[in-house]
A = this chain, B = another copy of it.
Amino acid sequence: MAKRLIPLFNRVLIEKIAAPSKTTAGILLPEKTAKLNSGKVVAVGPGCHDREGKLVAVSVKEGDTVLLPEYGGTEIKLGEKEYHIFRDEDILGTLHD
């Protein structure tokens, strides 16, 4: 059985959404920006402490659909599945219907 990963600090574990086609996901990423992609948030870290010592929670939550930057993130594999880890601050935004 695959292990479960709990990210540290403001890291976010993301399962990328397969290259979307216009009719199903509503998002069309043409050739030149094909590396930009969206993903589903699987797990989030507890956040980081600011300079006052207060914990700042991660700005996305489990289940969110997010828009990811073209570069960055760390590719990992848990069991059979491939995931990416991004820093909270590197996620561009959340996608909503």
Name A residues whose Cβ lies closer than 8 Å to a Cβ of B.
Answer: 1-9, 11, 13, 22, 25-30, 33, 36, 43, 45-46, 49-54, 56, 59-60, 65, 67, 69-70, 74-80, 85, 88-89, 91-97
Specify the chain B residue showing the minimal Cβ separation from A48: B89
**B54 adjacent to A93 (CB under 8 Å):** no
Closest beta carbon of chain B to A85's beta carbon, Å: 6
**A97 adjacent to B3 (CB under 8 Å):** yes
**B76 adjacent to A33 (CB under 8 Å):** yes
Interchain Cβ contacts under 8 Å between A and B, 28 examples: A1-B26, A1-B97, A2-B27, A3-B26, A3-B95, A3-B96, A4-B95, A4-B97, A5-B92, A6-B93, A7-B93, A8-B89, A8-B92, A9-B89, A26-B79, A30-B77, A33-B75, A33-B77, A36-B77, A49-B56, A50-B51, A50-B53, A51-B51, A51-B52, A53-B54, A67-B76, A69-B74, A70-B74
